[in-house]
Each structure stands twice: as C-alpha cells, then as structure tokens.
C-alpha cells in the first residue's frame, strides 16, 4: 500500500476474494444452521488456503481478507475470524507441543477454536473476570502441579461446539489484570460443559460452565499471571480487522443502495434523482471511505510496529463499526419494506452489523482507550 491507496495486486486479490465468497462460500453458508458451527464452511476455508492466511498475514492483509469476505458472505468472514481469534494465542504464546497439536487442524478447518474471555460479570471490563483457577495439589496428567477451573464464561463465539478454548482465568498473582492466566483447554476436559445462546446475530455463541476443570503446566499459554497480555496482544491485532469486517458490510449495503435507488422509479423519476436520497447516499459513501482508510492506517501501524497501535486500533474499530451501523440502517430506510423481508441482504446485514459495536471491546471501551492514550 502506498499512501492511502491499495496497489493493483491488492485490489485484484480483494476482487477475487469477493467473487470467491459469493460463488463458493455463500452456498455453503446458506446450507448451515444459524447459531451453529458450520464445519463444511470451515473445511472449505481451509481447502482454499484462507485460514492459513490468517496466521501468516500481517494486519493489513488480514483486514483486506476480512473486508472482502464480509462483502460477499458474512458467515464465511466470521468463521474465519473466530478461528484466528481463538488460535492466535496458541500461535504467539503456545508451546511447540500445543502448536503442533492444534494449529495444523485449525488451518485445515478440521478443529474449531474459541476465545473465552467474557463472563456474565466481566464483559467490557475484562480485567474483572472471576473464573477461578485454584491450585490443585493432587497433580495433573503429566505429573506436575496444576489448577482446577471453576466458574462461567458467557457470550463465547463457537461455544459450546469448539474443539478447544483459549481460556482466561484468575490465578491471583496480583490484583485485577495482573492475576490472570491464559490456558488452552480442550473441549473434552472433565467438568467442562456448555450451552448455545439464541442471539440476534446468526453466528454461534454460547455459555461455558467450568466445574473443577483440571489444567496443568502443559496447558499454559504464556506465563502464570501474564494472561491479560496474551488477550490484549490478540485483540490489538484483531480490532482493526473487526473494523474491516464492518467496512465490508457497509460497502455491501452501499452498493445495494446505489443499485436500488438508481433503478427504483418513484415520483416521476428514479429515487436517486431526489436530492434527499442523493445526499444521504453521498454521506453513506463518505463515511464508509473514511472508516476504510482509518482501518488501513491502523493495520499499517500494527505492521510497522508503531507505539500508538492501541489508540489507532481503537479508533479504527470505533469508527468502522459505528459507520457500518449508520450505513446499513440508512440502506434499509432507502429500500423501504422490501429490506425487512427475511432473507433480503439488508435484513441479514441489519442483524449482523449490531454485534461488532459490542464485542472485542464495546464502542464505549474504545473511546476510553483512545482518551487514555491521548492523555498518556
């Protein structure tokens, strides 16, 4: 990328991804059950080499990947992103044995990963999590001392169908974030159970219960008491690409609106001839482009190792998700009742676009991060 323009090869790749999402992935998504993990879709993402790109790409390439897939198939984008979110801590902080056991399966779309941070009382305030890891004097399967996990996680994407979870628990080395440890917990561990939640958005989300789930030193992701850093390292990478997901939805809604208002006849002409409609579409396009550029700038800063990544990532996620909500809402309004029919693209986007303003740090959290970084 030079300045704020994508190169020719990048634009061509994005176009190929949009076509792939519409032609190859959308049919598989349509066959899936809302609220359930779509394993055939994941397998296709693996076969096409797209899951591999999640783990080998820089932040900008990840943004282009997520934006392009979101334009043509939000379910494919979300399935891909959740694999990255759940397995990125294994890539960055896992042991060689953990990486060898799980990452090839995740890349192939054969193992489903999940990122288990949020709790009923610790959503936006992630440092307040209460899932307890108590030292287990009885030892673990490898003969070393371990912990027992007790508590609950909630609003966990891919739960309860994931094959393993990146779990953050309180081990008590210090107060708040300083006493959190990250663990890799396979789904078949005794004492671990879950149930799906019926949510507005169609991707799988559930609740997990930990009833003395045993974990040992071999399950650590990083060092005890350093788990919050593992979580933030993951979120700083994925926050700009959440913005890219939002931009992809906004662009899809904008293009649908241009096509509709440019052809729909009303009041003696087409809707696009009405100044009120044209001005609204112009605002939608301007906000979308501004959000897109901010996402790319944040991703570029991450790839360059800039010190201001937390601020830029927060700005990108904030602006892009709020913009996508605005654009999709106005697209529905300009389409009228047709956009409210179940199965319409905009009806689908209207349900999809709301959640990104909350997950991986709500908009209010992003504003808090930005303010703290500005006053630092």
**Cα–Cα distance measured from residue 366 to residue 313, given in angstroms and rounded to the nearest whole number:** 9
- Residue 141, Cβ neighbours under 10 Å: how many? 10
Selected catalytic residue, list 11, 152, 360, 373:
360
- Sequence-distant (6+) residues with CB within 8 A of 13 are 64, 68
Kindly report the CA angle at 6 between 345 and 16, in degrees rounded to 5?
A: 50
**Cα–Cα distance measured from residue 39 to residue 29, given in angstroms and rounded to the nearest whole number:** 10
**Cα–Cα distance measured from residue 285 to residue 291, given in angstroms and rounded to the nearest whole number:** 10
- Phi and psi at residue 270, to the nearest 5°: -100, 155
- Sequence-distant (6+) residues with CB within 8 A of 222 are 89, 93, 181, 182, 229, 230
360 is catalytic: yes
* Catalytic positions, written as ranges: 360
């Amino acid at each position: 990328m030079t300045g704020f323009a994508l190169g020719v090869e990048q634009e061509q790749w994005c176009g190929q991804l949009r076509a792939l999402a519409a032609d190859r992935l959308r049919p598989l998504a349509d066959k899936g059950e809302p609220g359930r993990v779509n394993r055939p879709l994941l397998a296709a993402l693996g076969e096409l080499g797209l899951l591999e790109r999640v783990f080998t790409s820089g932040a900008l390439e990840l943004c282009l990947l997520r934006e392009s897939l979101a334009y043509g198939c939000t379910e494919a984008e979300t399935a891909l992103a959740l694999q990255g979110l759940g397995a990125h801590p294994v890539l960055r902080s896992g042991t060689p044995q953990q990486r060898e056991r799980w990452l090839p399966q995740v890349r192939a779309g054969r193992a489903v990963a999940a990122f288990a941070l949020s709790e009923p009382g610790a959503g936006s305030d992630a440092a307040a999590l209460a899932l307890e890891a108590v030292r287990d004097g009885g030892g673990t399967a490898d003969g070393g001392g371990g912990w027992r996990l007790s508590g609950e996680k909630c609003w966990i994407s891919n739960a309860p169908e994931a094959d393993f979870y990146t779990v953050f628990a309180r081990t008590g080395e210090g107060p708040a974030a300083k006493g959190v440890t990250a663990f890799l917990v396979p789904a078949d561990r005794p004492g671990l159970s879950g149930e799906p939640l019926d949510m507005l958005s169609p991707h799988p989300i559930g609740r997990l219960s930990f009833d003395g789930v045993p974990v040992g030193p071999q399950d650590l992701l990083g060092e005890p008491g350093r788990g919050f850093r593992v979580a933030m390292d993951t979120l700083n990478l994925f926050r700009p690409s959440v913005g890219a997901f939002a931009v992809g939805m906004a662009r899809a809604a904008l293009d649908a609106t241009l096509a509709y208002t440019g052809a729909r006849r009303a009041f003696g002409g087409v809707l696009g001839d009405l100044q009120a409609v044209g001005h609204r579409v112009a605002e939608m396009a301007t906000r979308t482009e501004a959000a897109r550029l901010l996402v790319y700038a944040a991703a570029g800063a991450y790839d360059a190792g800039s010190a201001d990544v937390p601020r830029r990532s927060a700005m990108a996620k904030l602006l892009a998700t709020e913009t996508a909500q605005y654009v999709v809402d106005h697209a529905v309004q300009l389409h009228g009742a047709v956009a409210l029919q179940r199965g319409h693209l905009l009806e689908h986007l209207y349900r999809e676009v709301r959640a990104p303003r909350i997950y991986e740090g709500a908009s209010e959290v992003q504003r808090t991060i930005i303010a703290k970084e500005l006053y630092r």
